[in-house]
Amino acid sequence: MNSSLKWKLIAGFVLVFLAGGATGVFMSAATAHHFIGAHRHGFAAQAMKSRLQWQLRLTEEQMAKISPIIEKTGAKLEEIRGDTGRRVRETIAEAHREIAPLLTPEQQQRLKQMEERHRRWFQNRGPGRVTPAPETSPE
């Protein structure tokens, strides 16, 4: 095997490795956005319909019959998701209220800044956002 062929093979392997890494990063970001990112209204029901129609090979008539059930279920799931998010934010706010008196004034200010960043993040999530975070500033 000559030197030129050896370098071409090494370069080919490096390119394949880099392409795989880039694909992994892209797929991870897309998957994370799908599972973590804000979902538009009706997302759960639409995803359920698509999955059931594809996996069960449902006819249009069957889809028409099960659509109201799926819509009702999707609405319940969205409500559960919103309630869960609200409960998580309330629990964190309660912890911050208990922690704040134990902090120095500088640390309390940093905690306020953290809360404000978090609040802005929730407000900017778009149409699928959940209810705004409760007021949690340390007093």
Choice among 21-35, 43-57, 67-81 with the minimum mean pLDDT: 21-35
Distance CA 16, CA 11 (A): 9
Residue identified by tokens 């006819």 is: 59
**Token code pair at residue 105:** 């004034």
pTM: predicted TM-score of the whole model, two decimal places = 0.49
pLDDT at position 73, please?
92
How many Cβ atoms sit within 10 Å of the Cβ of residue 99?
A: 13
Residue 7 has pLDDT above 80, yes or no: yes
The H or E element spanning position 51 is helix 43-56
pLDDT band, very low/low/confident/very high, at 39 (cuts 50, 70, 90): low
Phi first, then psi: give them for residue 37, nearest 5 degrees: -65, 170
pLDDT at position 34, please?
55
Sorted by sequence, the CB contacts under 8 Å of residue 126 that are 6+ apart come out as 38
- In tens, the pLDDT along 86-102 reads 898 899 999 999 999 99
Going from N- to C-terminal start, the domains of the chain cover: 42-139
Q: What is the mean pLDDT of residues 1-22?
A: 85
Distance CA 36, CA 43 (A): 13
pLDDT at position 136, please?
46
